[in-house]
Structure 1
Amino acid sequence: MANDCEGPLYTVEDLEGMPDDGRRYELVDGALHVSPAPGYRHQKVVVKLIVLLDGACPNGLEVLTAPFAVRPSTTLELRPDVLVARCEDLTEKLLPVAPVLAVEVLSPSTAVHDLNTKKAVYERLGVESYWVVDPGELALTAFELDAGGRYEQVAEVKGDDAFDATVPFPVRVVPAGLLGPLRK
């Protein structure tokens, strides 16, 4: 896919020279995307998800958090908030292939990017399951690849409603539980 943005075409080598300033630097087909450091609610959801997923994760899979990179090419590097990958696919520094699950936690500054650009890239890469968590709405939307390799929405739950995931492994997620006392 061509870089449709005006400006230079970036590579992963360029990312390595970016400042360590708390921002998230990602590449989508050579276009640089910079997101501000996540806030408290965002981080709380990520921590709760990591604990929940790690507790249910079977042998052969690993649960990791950003800034661990998914880097399938020299012009594409994403850093999902949470990912689940096959152990044999991982290197010490990155994941060179699609994870089996990518999770993005929405922030006001990243929502459009997460719901559109990243979703399309994860679909193109063949990420089996993609979850989007909205900490403001206490909501989780889950997508899974259908037989044609396109995302189909398989769940949308809010508040105390539960999502009983089967992909990549069985786990129950309740959006309100991801914030604990912060939900009020």
Structure 2
Amino acid sequence: MTAAMSDLPPADGWTVDDLDALPDDGVRRELLDGVLLVSPSPTDVHQIIAGRLMVALEGSCPPEFQVTQGVEVRINARRGFIPDVLVATDAAAQRRSRHYAPHEVVLAVEIVSPTSVSMDRITKPALFASAGIPHYWRIETDGGLEVHTYQIDPAGEMYRPGGSFAVEIDTFEPWPIRIPIARLRPRHL
């Protein structure tokens, strides 16, 4: 069943097929167990951090991966999320699709906004880990800029902390990465 935004939601909840039937109008729509989530437009600070992180990651990214943003990760027919920045396999990127399967995603990054605190700190990490996405980064912007990295613990389908970085991201997973936090910080933050 397809539905327009003016229609009532489907009785059994939204699916990714319903989202595909909606116009490509630039509205960020995600699904959580069939519930449609619509986010406000990101702030300039959010977008500057995302853009700078993409450039910084791309500088050391191995050829078997691609850095991107705005691509949906479809966990199942009733769950789909759009990380702020993500790294996918090169094979997945070559498909030029509007969405990736979780096994095609190597790293999902969320930049916490006032409207996304619970989703970025609790819900998305839990669901990304249970879907098998190996790495998750959360970027906090309240009171400064701090990057928290996580790696999946395959036995428990949950993330374990990798590190918290306020001066320089320094990690060996998913590849050796060293990024000064100052390189990500917007001029007015």
Question: TM-score w.r.t. structure 2 length?
Answer: 0.84
For residues 56-135 of structure 1, what are the structure 2 equivalents within 5 Å? 56-66=60-70, 68-90=71-93, 91-93=95-97, 94-98=99-103, 99-135=105-141
TM-superposed deviation, 1:110: 0.9
TM-superposed deviation, 1:101: 0.3
Paired positions, count: 174
Q: Aligned equivalents of 2:12 and 2:188: distance in 1?
A: 41
For residues 102-181 of structure 1, what are the structure 2 equivalents within 5 Å? 102-136=108-142, 137-148=144-155, 149-158=157-166, 161-181=167-187
Question: TM-score w.r.t. structure 1 length?
Answer: 0.86
Q: Aligned equivalents of 1:50 and 1:13: distance in 2?
A: 29
Task: Give deviations 1:72-117, integer Å, cap 9, x for gaps.
Answer: 4222211101111111234322212331100001111111111111
CA RMSD of aligned residues (A): 1.8
Would you say the 8 A contact 1:89–1:97 is kept in 2? Answer: no
Q: 1:167 to 1:145 in 2, by over 3 A?
A: same
* Pairing 1:36–2:40 present: yes
* Pairing 1:26–2:30 present: yes
Q: Aligned equivalents of 1:173 and 1:152: distance in 2?
A: 21
User: After the TM superposition, which of the residue ranges 167-176 and 137-146 deviates more from structure 2?
Assistant: 167-176
* Pairing 1:10–2:14 present: yes
Aligned partner letter, 1:123: A
Q: Which residue of 1 aligns with 2:3?
A: none
Q: Aligned equivalents of 1:147 and 1:9: distance in 2?
A: 30
Identity percentage over the alignment?
33
TM-superposed deviation, 1:51: 0.2
